[in-house]
Structure 1
Amino acid sequence: MSTRKLAELPGPDVAARFGPDTIIVQPTGAVEHHGPHLPLVTDFLLADHIGGAAVERAADEGLDVWQLPTLAFTKSDEHSWAPGTVWLDADTMFDTVVQIGRAVALMGAGTLVFANGHGGNTALLQVALREIRRRTGLKTFLMPTLARVPGPDGEDADERGLGIHGGAAETSMILHLRPDLVDLARADRWVPDHIADFERIAFNGGPVSFGWLSNDFGTPGVVGDASRASAEYGKLLWDVSLDQAVASLHEIARFDPAVPR
């Protein structure tokens, strides 16, 4: 049987095949508002496609790695104001992933990796890594599915460090994966320039973070410049993101926090 999808295995095969070197990948996406030009399923597609392709390639390269079904409904309450968003509260999401960790440990696997396609899950999953580790002994990891890649017109040419949701990168990636779901005629530049010049308060990497909802910025729930998107940029993002995910799985496979004897 060539499948790397865990849920397609017969139950007895799990017990027979899995051991301490087995890596289980749990993709985490979302079903949430992505503006007028992208589908609600955007983050699910990123997690499912990149996570699944990374598992397949890593398995072909010799890793004992398997994929759980992608989580569609996750912590998306920053978009709860927008019709179509389906979200779990923090407690429910946290309990869900911890219980998944318990199940993975009972399968006999040694490692659980969350391949995350939705930024709103990141902080919660980071806390869950330690909780699952403490409760089960599993090695636990979190990796992104979408890489940060300079666009064809240069690094962050028009998004000013604010291209975090529905902007050039996500729109380009969905143009590559599912162009039938993208309406570029409805894409625009939705960058909240009025917050871009703060030196310490930032979305990514700044020393001061802040709580936000996606309708805080005077945009239609998008933060970024979707008008810069292209299928060519999407293909570049796909190639780099997949390479990054596979390389991460190889490093995860040989990682041991203990001091070598």
Structure 2
Amino acid sequence: MVASSAGEPSRRLGLGGARWPAVGEDPPLVLVPIGSVEQHGPHLPLATDSMLACAATREVAIRLDAAGVRVPVAPALAYGASGEHEDFPGTVSIGHEALWLLLVELGRSACRWAQGLVFVNGHGGNVPTVVSAVTTLRDEGRPVAWTGFGVLGGDAHAGRTETSLLRHLAPWTVRMDLAEPGATEPIDELMPRLRSVGVRTVSPNGILGDPAGSSAEEGRRLFEVLVNRLHLELTDLDVGSDGRLKRPERSGVGS
């Protein structure tokens, strides 16, 4: 479990712990975290993406609740499309086709009673499938959108950015004694090779970036910016052409 300011509000806002009469009295907007089970270098846990998506989603739901807006958080979709990481033991990918079907059917079902649904994606490899699924649902007239999070200037995978976030949120899961640099070229330069040969050929330890310089304090600052941006997006609920909640320029956070 990831640490946060959550207490009783977090338990109350979890859709999985709710009872149907309470849900049915005021059909809410529902948030669904999406993650992955994939290698994150020798020092971070396989569930890193899911842990971060859940932590940010839960925290923003608590803030909205404090402002009088109840937005339940559904149980996370912990598996994603992570085929590029399958050369590493521990990675479990369900692939794009299965993920697409899961998202579409989930959206169709939830929108029978919910005011709307927002997928909060924590794994970059899921993005094309999330966009496709949300586009299908919106074409069917269903109130569905998606968002994700990334830090401007952050490294791509298991580097300083994710390591700092987990050192803040779940320090007991981080093994800094095992941390080491990975492939440090810009992600735009690495992407063609990643797609053609997978992560392990590009980075034998699975890291795209360098965990050096990470800290819990940096993670705290990054997490605050991420949650603030997500809070603004869910307050505005302005949806772009790709079904994504539009990024408020004042938030200072990337994709």
TM-score range, shorter chain: 0.7 to 0.9
Contact between 1:25 and 1:113, CA under 8 Å: does it hold in 2?
Answer: yes
User: Could you report, residue by residue, the CA deviation over 1:5-24 in whole angstroms, capped at 9, with x for unpaired residues?
Assistant: 12221123222220xxx311
The match for 1:13 among 22, 27, 31 is 22
Residue type matched to 2:82 in 1? S
Q: Flag the 1:184–1:105 CA change in 2: closer, same or farther, 3 A.
A: same
Q: 5+ residue gaps in structure 2?
A: 1-7, 242-255
Shift of 1:219: 3.2
The match for 1:128 among 115, 129, 133 is 133
Counterpart residue number, 2:204: 219
Shift of 1:166: 0.4
Where in structure 2 are the equivalents of 1:42-53 lying within 5 Å?
A: 42-53=48-59
The match for 1:168 among 160, 170, 175 is 160
User: Could you report, residue by residue, the CA deviation over 1:45-85 in whole angstroms, capped at 9, with x for unpaired residues?
Assistant: 10111111111111222324221111111111111111111
Q: Flag the 1:14–1:224 CA change in 2: closer, same or farther, 3 A.
A: same
Shift of 1:256: 9.9
SS at the partner of 2:127?
helix
Counterpart residue number, 2:123: 118
Partners of 2:219 and 2:240 lie apart in 1 by: 34
Q: 5+ residue gaps in structure 1?
A: 150-154, 157-162
Normalising by structure 1, what TM-score?
0.81
Q: Which runs of 4+ in 1 moved over 3 A?
A: 200-203, 254-257
Residue type matched to 2:205 in 1? P
Counterpart residue number, 2:84: 78
Partners of 2:35 and 2:204 lie apart in 1 by: 23
Shift of 1:178: 0.9
Residue type matched to 1:13 in 2? A
User: Could you report, residue by residue, the CA deviation over 1:159-179 in whole angstroms, capped at 9, with x for unpaired residues?
Assistant: xxxx21101100100100111
Larger radius of gyration: 1
Partners of 2:201 and 2:193 lie apart in 1 by: 15
Number of aligned pairs?
A: 231
Where in structure 2 are the equivalents of 1:89-100 lying within 5 Å?
A: 89-100=95-106
Counterpart residue number, 1:138: 142
SS at the partner of 1:141?
strand
Contact between 1:167 and 1:225, CA under 8 Å: does it hold in 2?
Answer: yes
Contact between 2:36 and 2:49, CA under 8 Å: does it hold in 1?
Answer: yes
2:151 is aligned with 1:148: yes
Contact between 1:30 and 1:72, CA under 8 Å: does it hold in 2?
Answer: yes
SS at the partner of 1:120?
helix
Residue type matched to 1:133 in 2? R
Q: Flag the 1:209–1:215 CA change in 2: closer, same or farther, 3 A.
A: closer
Q: Flag the 1:202–1:110 CA change in 2: closer, same or farther, 3 A.
A: farther
Deviates more, 1:1-10 or 1:174-183: 1-10
Counterpart residue number, 2:3: none
